[in-house]
Amino acid sequence: MSARCGPGAPSWRRQASKCAWLAVMLLTTGAALAQGHPFGQPEASMGWQPGGWLGSLLGQVSIWQSHFYRQLTGAVRAWQQDGHAAWTLIGLSFAYGVFHAVGPGHGKAVISAYVLANRQTVRNGAVLALLSAMMQGLVAIVLVGIAAWVLNLTGAAMNRATLWLEIGSYALVTLLGMWLAWTKVVRPLRSARDTAVAPDRHGAHGHGAAQQPDSPPHGHRHGLLDGHPHGPGCGCGHAHVAPPALAEGRLDLAKAASAVMSVGLRPCSGALIVLVFALSQGFFAAGAAAAMAMGLGTGVTVASLTCLALAARHAAGRLSGNALRAARIHRGLEGLAALAVLALGILLLGGAWTTAGLWPLGGG
């Protein structure tokens, strides 16, 4: 298996370390305290502050995003006139979603960290990313469908609903982080204290055999169903598979649901606004299509980023040279990722909570 994993040339190592840095940047996403905006539109309360070339790339992305966003109104109208123009709206929304995902947002940080902490496969990571982004689109449709279409509530009321969804979402991130920290940091620490030889005990997940430190040279074996490593949307372009996480590499939806919900519960502002606009034009279906296309665009991008994070984790383990150290590094990264999810959850929750008291049109 290892022969297919990459030539091991120095250039490959450089690539791998770049990948690792990217993953670290993904994980050091910071939360920000949002003040409600005077015009009281829904606005996510966190963002991402990298510098250097990555900073200017993201700045450019933000300009492109605005560019696509501004064409959405025209595209909704065009579709209203001519059914064939539906693809214009769907394409624009998809592009908006792609650029939206590259910009600020907590989704990719949570998913990447969850996948890292939980030894998910590349495929599972991609599926999780897609599911959570599609969930975001669906939540936006349901929220606007019920609040605006059925109940005819005001924008201010929807902002409040969004804020509560946001708080729920961040509370879930915090819970997820607590659970991960418990299983990845606290319990291993305790079992290491209890037993001199610390076998890889992961309790709830039962990763067991796949991570025996003595299996050369990666410290893991590939499960049968993991023969094809790349999931949909996985664009890392390098041929390695992350260690199979769950037995048979199957996604345990019950466990992953918390990660999906924690990301998907907070609808993106762009989707909400385009849905309300479509509704005002008497063409809710166009808004729904746009929201789902945005979700798909976001999902594909986050899936690629998640894949990068996994590749980086693998590279970090591989660079260490020997299997025992690789296993340790893997476990260390898991612990760090678990703590990152917890810290992110607490920060986001704190920020959203403060916002709740300061929402400018809260009384309206």
Partner 1 sequence: MPRFLTPGRIAALLLALTMPAAEQAAAHPHMWIDARAWLVFDGDGRLAALRQAWRFDEMSSAYSLQGLPRSADGGYAPKALQSMADDWVAALGEPQSHYFTWLRYRGRSLEFGTPAHASVQWDKTAARVTLVFELPLQTPVAPAGAEMQMEVFDPTYFVAYAFDAPGAIELDGAPRACRSDYRPPQPLDPATALRLAAIPADAEIPPGELSALTQKLSHRIGVRCP
Stretch 112-171 residues interacting with partner 1 (CB under 8 A): 148, 152-155, 157-158
Q: Which CB, 71 or 215, lies closer to partner 1?
A: 71
Q: Which CB, 41 or 215, lies closer to partner 1?
A: 41
Q: Among 280, 285, 321, 322, which residue interacts with partner 1 (rule: CB under 8 A)?
A: 280
Burial of 52 (0-12, 13-18, 19+ CB in 10 A): exposed
Q: Does 273 engage in binding with partner 1 (CB under 8 A)?
A: yes
Question: Which H/E stretch holds residue 11?
Answer: helix 10-27
Q: Footprint of partner 1 on residues 7-66 (CB under 8 A)?
A: 28-41, 43, 46-49, 55-60, 62-63, 65-66
Q: Which CB, 171 or 251, lies closer to partner 1?
A: 171
Closest among 27, 12, 109 to 315, alpha carbons compared: 12
Q: Give the shortest CB-71-to-partner 1 separation in angstroms.
A: 11
Q: Give the shortest CB-127-to-partner 1 separation in angstroms.
A: 27
The tokens describing 225, both together, are: 């169903």
Q: Count Cβ neighbours within 10 Å for each residue of 56-91 and write b for 16 or more, e otherwise.
A: eebeebeeebeebbebbeebbbbbbeeeebbebbbe
Question: How far apart are the C-alpha atoms of 23 and 16, rounded to whole Å?
Answer: 11
Q: Which CB, 85 or 361, lies closer to partner 1?
A: 361
Q: Give the shortest CB-33-to-partner 1 separation in angstroms.
A: 7
Q: Give the shortest CB-249-to-partner 1 separation in angstroms.
A: 24
What residues contact 364, with CB distance under 8 A and at least 6 apart? 40, 154, 156
Closest among 226, 229, 189, 182 to 204, alpha carbons compared: 182
Which span sits near partner 1 by CB under 8 A: 82-90, 236-244, 288-296, 323-331? 323-331
Q: Which CB, 191 or 215, lies closer to partner 1?
A: 191
* Under 8 Å between Cβ of 177 and 344: yes
Q: Does 347 engage in binding with partner 1 (CB under 8 A)?
A: yes
Q: Give the shortest CB-141-to-partner 1 separation in angstroms.
A: 15
Q: Does 258 engage in binding with partner 1 (CB under 8 A)?
A: no
Q: Which CB, 158 or 300, lies closer to partner 1?
A: 158
Q: Does 339 engage in binding with partner 1 (CB under 8 A)?
A: yes
Q: Give the shortest CB-52-to-partner 1 separation in angstroms.
A: 9
Q: Footprint of partner 1 on residues 169-208 (CB under 8 A)?
A: 185, 188-189, 192, 198
Question: How far apart are the C-alpha atoms of 359 and 38, rounded to whole Å?
Answer: 9
Question: How far apart are the C-alpha atoms of 131 and 124, rounded to whole Å?
Answer: 10
* Under 8 Å between Cβ of 247 and 225: no
Question: How far apart are the C-alpha atoms of 1 and 242, rounded to whole Å?
Answer: 12
The tokens describing 43, both together, are: 């606005």
Q: Does 351 engage in binding with partner 1 (CB under 8 A)?
A: yes
